[in-house]
Structure 1
């Protein structure tokens, strides 16, 4: 059974909030089909798009926009039409939208950052996070260079998962695996977490929901609850707030493994 078949949704689950980031629509490595399937599973009061949803950097060098990418936009518009509040927080890859911050179109808002109150009263800063990345802020040429090297890794990732699907295996991220094991990447992630946590303390937030570094995480950094959505390019992850205010980190690979185990138990 293919990974797409494993992920077919049943009845929609009611949740309070969904957070997704770093979708990078307009790139070949965007996992748009998986994301559309994920979104179909939930009836959410709010959806936060935490930056880099559309990849303006890549679209400058040529347009790549298959039907699957349109399907994600249509799914979000459908959710908005049915009452879901959609808050689009701008990121560095979609920074062309920052000139239109505070735009409101029906149930869709465009902002540079937002404040979210959980059902149990926690006050969370929702921000993409590029503002706390020294390379992105002060060495943009290096960020573009790194983006090109990163694209090569993602190309390898795409071919690996093509063959995994052919042999009946679920999604697995080579790039996320390498990121966990390269010391410089680990140090960069740690520095990023510390910087954004410091900002939360300074501004009196209980925690932060961010993206940018494509590394999904739920942890405490000092006094701050640090929540990173991850991405839909490498690891296919999201954050889900349930009706009681508890927050869950969703990982596509873990979900597929669980579904395979359930199917095997029924066989």
Structure 2
């Protein structure tokens, strides 16, 4: 039993880290087919290799599934991010059927054009102070560890998953302001490129929203917390899927309507 979409975008899987929700990601890849698959950066976390090599068999299974999709006819585009930045030097090359790009322009079935990129190039902290960005990444890893233990206790008590970092992103004023500014800058880039919107990752906050200039902002989220993907159906509608919460329900229906919580674009 599988779901089919015209296009799928996933980002920030952070393979090579203990925070990667590899089981959920493998389940997603096993049950979702598409004509075009975009890997929107930070797929493999090369930063973490500085502190030692971590690569379980499950992570190899995920890479192999992506290769299999390419071999079976899925168009796969890989747009590296800041955590897998060394792969950017291979932009323009094909590897095992995967097209490596710095960015891409995707045209939906209904004729809209979206700039697809990871998004770190518009995060001034990453662009101008990489050591500070690395420290921020380490702090995020600590939050994930705390959150894993907290949610383990919640699950024992019968409660659902709760995200500490998502809570902080929504409640801490400076973080919320950063995300607003991030969207604003991407809206300016969409206006400059004369496209209808932007599809990105990087900030680990899945969202579909309307920006200024009539542009649409789409962030496909991550696979260390939210387990989200952006999808395009056969009519060109865009929606977010939260696989951990909605995957089984979508499979039970054997089709993929836009989830009630998603803001279709």
1:26 matched to 2:16: yes
Q: Secondary structure at the match of 2:51?
A: coil
Deviations 1:8-62, CA, capped at 9 Å, x for gaps: xxx1112101100000001110111101101211120011000000001111221
Q: Give structure 2 stretches of 5+ with no counterpart.
A: 254-265
| Aligned residue number for residue 86 of structure 2 | 96
* Number of residue pairs matched by the alignment: 251
1:184 matched to 2:174: yes
Residue of structure 1 aligned with 2:63, choices 57, 73, 96: 73
Shift of 1:221: 0.6
CA gap of 1:256–1:156, structure 2 versus 1, over 3 A, is: farther
Give the TM-score taking structure 1 as reference length.
0.89
Q: What are the within-5 Å matches in structure 2 for residues 2-17 of structure 1?
A: 11-17=1-7
Give the TM-score taking structure 2 as reference length.
0.90
| Aligned residue number for residue 217 of structure 2 | 226
| Aligned residue number for residue 246 of structure 1 | 237
Give, in whole Å, the separation in 1 of the partners of 2:150 and 2:62. 24
**Native 8 Å contact 1:170 1:257 kept in 2:** no
| Aligned residue number for residue 107 of structure 1 | 97
Shift of 1:257: 9.2
**Native 8 Å contact 1:16 1:242 kept in 2:** yes
**Native 8 Å contact 1:84 1:107 kept in 2:** no
Shift of 1:71: 1.6
**Native 8 Å contact 1:51 1:128 kept in 2:** yes
| Aligned residue number for residue 55 of structure 1 | 45
**Native 8 Å contact 1:101 1:112 kept in 2:** yes
Q: Give structure 1 stretches of 5+ with no counterpart.
A: 1-10, 263-267
Give, in whole Å, the separation in 1 of the partners of 2:141 and 2:96. 36
